[in-house]
Structure 1
Amino acid sequence: MNDGALPGTTDQARRLLLALRAGPEELFRLVHDPDPLVVRNLLKNPHLNEDHLLVLLKRRDLGEDLLKALHQRFREGASHRLILAMARNPDLPAAIALSLLPHLYLFELLDFCLLPGMTPDQRLAAERQIIRRLPEIPLGQKITLARRGTNAILAELVKEGHPQIVGPCLDNPRLKEVALLQFLRTGAATAETISQIARHPRWQHRPNLKMAILKHPRTPMVWYVCWLPALKGTQLKELLHSRNIPAEKRQRIRDLLNRRG
């Protein structure tokens, strides 16, 4: 094939020229060229289309400068799938990635949070986008988020206090204890959701959670019956001085302390 290269030109010069003149089929091969100058020339090729760009964006060696040039060239009128492919490239500069996040759908954002190679800032921005949308998300999607979400998303979901959401949050291995401790300090915790935590096999034996549950004014009496006898005297005294415990439960603590002498 005569690609227009002059006799005696280097292989790089030939590829640079070919990148400018290649047709649609040849471009699919050139998007894999290891030379960034060749790839940059591809962006000037009038035959370069979205299908070529989607293949190109799967590469993980493009570098920030090339991705900036690509974004500058195709940001106007870019399709949703092109925006998604660009946002998922871990080499994309953070400022550009953040500008693309509002255009992603809910579970695309969640996938973005979980992608390996994302920077903490990018992951945090995606989590904030999801959290910002929570008031408008239907219950079914919130339950799916509870099963798959990151700790930051789970912490916000738990705060809503809906038993159907709290349950799958408790099962999610990404949930951290601090999120539940924060929830138990709010007015959103109910007898039902407190009991969900108290009987969950992953959480029921954690000392800090157990004390936080016993200090909550809405904790059902059954957990006092189950847990108080195993507590140390210092823990019972700590509970006795908690302002939130109702009188009936406070008396039960006093009676146990008196029996212990």
Structure 2
Amino acid sequence: MERSAKSTHLDPELSRRLHRALTCGKEELFEAILDSSPEVLRAALRNPALDGNHLLALLGRRDLTEDLLRTVAGLDTVAGNHNLTVALVQNPATPAGVALSLLPRLYLFELVTLSELPGTTPDQRLAAERAIVQRLPTTPLGNRITLARRASASVLDALMKEGDVRVVEPCLANPRLKEASVFQLVSSARSSTEAIAAVARHQRWASRPNLKIAMIKNPRTPSTVFVSLLAGAPAMELRNLAVSGRLGQEQKRLIGEELRRRGF
């Protein structure tokens, strides 16, 4: 450590850059924050001329150290500036603890953008998705519909659980949606008939065997969908459903007719 400190002290070029970063005016400070030396960057952070525009330019760099970013996060200028907060969270080198503490300050679709950024770490992505899900109960319908078109699989799963057909339909068209989320919807006795019907008529999902069986087993499935699914259901499955306590009498009657049609 002594040798390093002595070497730094004797380096006239570094000393010049340090002094310039600490004392230069606003325009020159933009050049100083491009310096490759962490010491020079720290000096720039102490420059009285430093403002939000300088910090935005600095946070656009992807070669900053965690220590420097931690220092930036502690500046009063950042605390009151939304754009700087977003830039700090989006920098992949920002320490996880710092980034997570700033997530509540982000707007909903800033969280979505963060979860989509190529440089976002798995922990940051997961935290952003959790923050989105936590806000869903108070998110307006229009934003939830937009979210359904863009969201990741975990957020789509939460949106599907709400069961609102106006949100379910755009979810079904999202390529990130997993079959498990659709299965949970069509299996639930709390799902609306409209939401189940949306799945039944969707080109991507209508032919999935597991989803077909789940819809036949659900007492909430619309009768028109139920009848259309019976023809392709295995006879053994229909026999089991005929004695199931979950289905209503009308559905059981339709199952009985289908079995008789097949000669059972």
Q: Same fold judged by TM-score > 0.5? A: yes
Partner of 2:146: 144
Q: Which residue of 13, 16, 30 maps to 1:11?
A: 13
Partner of 1:204: 206
CA distance in 2 between partners of 1:121 and 1:243 (Å): 44
Number of positions where the alignment pairs a residue of Structure 1 with one of Structure 2: 254
> What is the 5 A alignment of 1:1-261?
9-74=11-76, 77-240=79-242, 242-258=244-260, 259-261=262-264
CA offset at residue 75 of structure 1?
Answer: 6.4
Aligned partner letter, 1:211? I
Change (3 A) 1:124 1:9: closer
CA distance in 2 between partners of 1:77 and 1:240 (Å): 64
CA offset at residue 9 of structure 1?
Answer: 4.2
CA distance in 2 between partners of 1:237 and 1:119 (Å): 50
CA distance in 2 between partners of 1:27 and 1:9 (Å): 21
Asked whether the 8 Å contact 2:62–2:93 carries over to 1, the reply is: yes
Change (3 A) 1:21 1:238: farther
CA offset at residue 76 of structure 1?
Answer: 6.4
For the residue of structure 2 that corresponds to 1:244, the secondary structure is coil
CA distance in 1 between partners of 2:75 and 2:130 (Å): 28
CA distance in 2 between partners of 1:15 and 1:73 (Å): 22
Asked whether the 8 Å contact 1:147–1:169 carries over to 2, the reply is: yes
How big is each residue's C-alpha offset from its partner over 1:62-115, in whole Å with a ceiling of 9 and x where there is no partner? 021211121123466431111111111111111111110111111111111211
Change (3 A) 1:76 1:111: closer
For the residue of structure 1 that corresponds to 2:75, the secondary structure is helix
Aligned partner letter, 1:100? L
CA offset at residue 37 of structure 1?
Answer: 2.0
CA offset at residue 242 of structure 1?
Answer: 4.4
How big is each residue's C-alpha offset from its partner over 1:133-177, in whole Å with a ceiling of 9 and x where there is no partner? 222222111111111112222222222222211111111111111
Give unmatched runs, 5+ long, in structure 1: 1-7
How big is each residue's C-alpha offset from its partner over 1:36-63, in whole Å with a ceiling of 9 and x where there is no partner? 2221221121111110000010111102
CA distance in 2 between partners of 1:187 and 1:235 (Å): 19
CA distance in 1 between partners of 2:226 and 2:130 (Å): 38
Give unmatched runs, 5+ long, in structure 2: 1-9
For the residue of structure 1 that corresponds to 2:64, the secondary structure is coil
User: Between Structure 1 and Structure 2, which shows a larger proportion of helix residues?
Assistant: 2
Structure 1 window deviating more from structure 2 (87-96 vs 117-126): it is: 117-126
Aligned partner letter, 1:133? R
CA distance in 2 between partners of 1:234 and 1:248 (Å): 19
CA offset at residue 241 of structure 1?
Answer: 5.5
Aligned partner letter, 2:217? K
CA offset at residue 227 of structure 1?
Answer: 2.3
Change (3 A) 1:18 1:220: same
Asked whether the 8 Å contact 1:160–1:188 carries over to 2, the reply is: no
CA distance in 1 between partners of 2:121 and 2:150 (Å): 19
Change (3 A) 1:76 1:144: closer
| Coordinate RMSD, CA, aligned | 2.0
Aligned partner letter, 2:62? R
Partner of 1:4: none
Structure 1 window deviating more from structure 2 (219-228 vs 167-176): it is: 219-228
For the residue of structure 2 that corresponds to 1:184, the secondary structure is helix
Asked whether the 8 Å contact 2:89–2:103 carries over to 1, the reply is: yes
CA distance in 2 between partners of 1:57 and 1:243 (Å): 61
Asked whether the 8 Å contact 1:191–1:219 carries over to 2, the reply is: yes
Change (3 A) 1:30 1:257: same
CA distance in 1 between partners of 2:163 and 2:92 (Å): 35
Asked whether the 8 Å contact 2:29–2:54 carries over to 1, the reply is: yes
For the residue of structure 2 that corresponds to 1:230, the secondary structure is coil
CA offset at residue 238 of structure 1?
Answer: 4.8
